[in-house]
Amino acid sequence: MPNARITVAERVPRGAPFEVRIQVRHAMETGYRTDDMGKSIPRNVIRTLTCRYNGDPVFVAHTSSGIAANPYLRFFVLARASGELTFEWVDDAGVRESDRVVVSVT
């Protein structure tokens, strides 16, 4: 079960930018917090989130602890052809996750 929720309109007009929304489930641990035992919790934030459209990168976000937990991003992508948007993100712990959504261009 992917840890993200992605929203794209059901149909998007060709040649125009369309809205993409993604929220990833991730604590974005800053490294400044301590657990119940007073031990510091190591930093673990998403470093990079890449969005590819039919394989070509169209949006890349390099994030830090300055982005809130469960990062939310809304951006635009130019509708070229029907296909899919794939998202891949990697955090400090090296955990790599991905998710995809189908885009139908009319």
Partner 1 sequence: MNPRAASDMARLRVRRRLLQSAGALAVITCVPARAADSGLPALPALTAFLAGRTPRRERISLDLPRIADNGLSVPMRVSVSGPFAPGPFVRKLALFSEINPVPDMAVFEFPQPLERIEIDTRIRLAGTQQIVAIAEVTDGSLLAAAAEVIVTLGGCMDGT
Q: For binding to partner 1 (CB under 8 A), which residues are involved?
A: 16-17, 28, 30, 32-34, 56-69, 71-78
How would you list the strands of the sheet with 83-91, edge to edge? Answer: 46-53, 83-91, 96-103
Identity of the amino acid at 8: V
CB of 49 to partner 1, least distance (A): 10
DSSP label of 35:
-
Length of the chain as a residue count: 106
Q: Specify the residue, 2 or 76, whose C-beta has the smaller distance to partner 1.
A: 76
> Least distance (Å) from partner 1 to the CB of residue 41?
10
By the 8 A CB rule, do 67 and 48 touch? no
The nearest distance, CB 42 to partner 1, in angstroms, is: 15
